[in-house]
Copies of this chain bind each other. A is one copy, B any other.
Amino acid sequence: MVVSLEKNKQHEVVIIGGGFGGLYAAKSLANRNVKVTLIDKRNFHLFQPLLYQVATGTLSPADISSPLRAVLRKSKNTKVLLGEVNNIDPKTQKVFVGDKIVPYDTLIVATGANHSYFGKDNWKDLAPGLKTVEDAIEMRRRIFSAFEAAENETDSEKRRALLTFVIVGGGPTGVELAGAIAELAYKTLQEDFRNIDTSEAKILLLQGGDRILPHISPELSQSATESLQKLGVMVQTQTRVTNIENDVVTFKQGDKVQQVSAKTVLWAAGVEASGMAKVLADRTGVECDRSGRVVVEPDLTVKGYKNIFVIGDLANFSHQTGKPLPSVAPVAKQQGEYVAGLILLRLHGHTLPPFHYTDVGSLAMIGQNLAVVDLGFLKLTGFIAWVFWLVIHIYFLIEFDTKMVVVIQWAWNYITRNRRSRLITGKEAFLGPQPINNSHPYQATETVKQPVKV
- With A69-B193, A193-B69 known as contacts, the answer to whether A43 contacts B134 (CB < 8 A) is no
- With A61-B425, A144-B43, A422-B67 known as contacts, the answer to whether A83 contacts B432 (CB < 8 A) is yes
B430 in contact with A192 (CB, 8 Å): no
Please give the count of copies of this chain that the complex contains. 2
- The reply to whether the CB of A34 lies closer than 8 angstroms to some CB of chain B is no
- The reply to whether the CB of A348 lies closer than 8 angstroms to some CB of chain B is no
Query: Contact string, A50-80, partner B, CB cutoff 8 A, digits 1/0?
Result: 0000000000111101110110011000011
- With A430-B41, A432-B98 known as contacts, the answer to whether A148 contacts B82 (CB < 8 A) is yes
> Considering the chains assembled together, what is the distance between the CA atoms of A100 and B435 in angstroms?
12
> Considering the chains assembled together, what is the distance between the CA atoms of A9 and B370 in angstroms?
47
> Considering the chains assembled together, what is the distance between the CA atoms of A152 and B73 in angstroms?
17
> Considering the chains assembled together, what is the distance between the CA atoms of A423 and B42 in angstroms?
8
A191 contacts across to B, CB distance below 8 A? 73-74
Question: Which of A25-33, A274-282, A292-300, A402-410 has 4 or more CB atoms under 8 Å from chain B?
Answer: A402-410
Q: Chain B nearest CB: distance from A124 CB in Å?
A: 16
A65 contacts across to B, CB distance below 8 A? 423
- The reply to whether the CB of A197 lies closer than 8 angstroms to some CB of chain B is no
Which residue of B195, B420, B425 contacts A134 across the interface (Cβ within 8 Å)? B425
B422 in contact with A449 (CB, 8 Å): no
Query: Contact string, A426-444, partner B, CB cutoff 8 A, digits 1/0?
Result: 1101111100000000000
- The reply to whether the CB of A237 lies closer than 8 angstroms to some CB of chain B is no
> Considering the chains assembled together, what is the distance between the CA atoms of A433 and B42 in angstroms?
10
A60 contacts across to B, CB distance below 8 A? 60-63, 421
A41 contacts across to B, CB distance below 8 A? 430, 432
> Considering the chains assembled together, what is the distance between the CA atoms of A426 and B85 in angstroms?
20
- The reply to whether the CB of A194 lies closer than 8 angstroms to some CB of chain B is yes
- The reply to whether the CB of A366 lies closer than 8 angstroms to some CB of chain B is no
- With A84-B430, A405-B409 known as contacts, the answer to whether A100 contacts B152 (CB < 8 A) is yes
Which residue of B62, B192, B402 contacts A412 across the interface (Cβ within 8 Å)? B402
> Considering the chains assembled together, what is the distance between the CA atoms of A134 and B61 in angstroms?
14
Query: Contact string, A92-133, partner B, CB cutoff 8 A, digits 1/0?
Result: 000000101000000000000000000000000000000001
A133 contacts across to B, CB distance below 8 A? 423, 425
A151 contacts across to B, CB distance below 8 A? 82
Residue on B nearest A73 in the bound complex, by CB? B191
> Considering the chains assembled together, what is the distance between the CA atoms of A270 and B413 in angstroms?
39
> Considering the chains assembled together, what is the distance between the CA atoms of A267 and B404 in angstroms?
34
Which residue of B80, B194, B408, B424 contacts A42 across the interface (Cβ within 8 Å)? B424
Residue on B nearest A433 in the bound complex, by CB? B82
- The reply to whether the CB of A251 lies closer than 8 angstroms to some CB of chain B is no
- The reply to whether the CB of A447 lies closer than 8 angstroms to some CB of chain B is yes
Which residue of B70, B134, B152, B420 contacts A82 across the interface (Cβ within 8 Å)? B152
Q: Chain B nearest CB: distance from A195 CB in Å?
A: 8
Q: Chain B nearest CB: distance from A225 CB in Å?
A: 31
A62 contacts across to B, CB distance below 8 A? 60, 420-423
B404 in contact with A83 (CB, 8 Å): no
Which residue of B43, B63, B137, B144 contacts A424 across the interface (Cβ within 8 Å)? B43
B81 in contact with A192 (CB, 8 Å): no
Residue on B nearest A418 in the bound complex, by CB? B70
Most buried by B among A70, A98, A133, A427: A70
Q: Chain B nearest CB: distance from A66 CB in Å?
A: 8
> Considering the chains assembled together, what is the distance between the CA atoms of A124 and B416 in angstroms?
41
Residue on B nearest A84 in the bound complex, by CB? B432
- With A152-B100, A193-B69, A427-B427 known as contacts, the answer to whether A420 contacts B405 (CB < 8 A) is yes
Which residue of B412, B430, B449 contacts A447 across the interface (Cβ within 8 Å)? B430
- The reply to whether the CB of A44 lies closer than 8 angstroms to some CB of chain B is yes
Q: Which 6 pairs show the lowest CB-CB distances between chains A and B? A: A60-B60, A62-B421, A69-B192, A83-B432, A60-B62, A82-B148
What are 5 contact pairs spanning A and B, CB under 8 A?
A69-B193, A80-B194, A81-B152, A402-B412, A405-B408
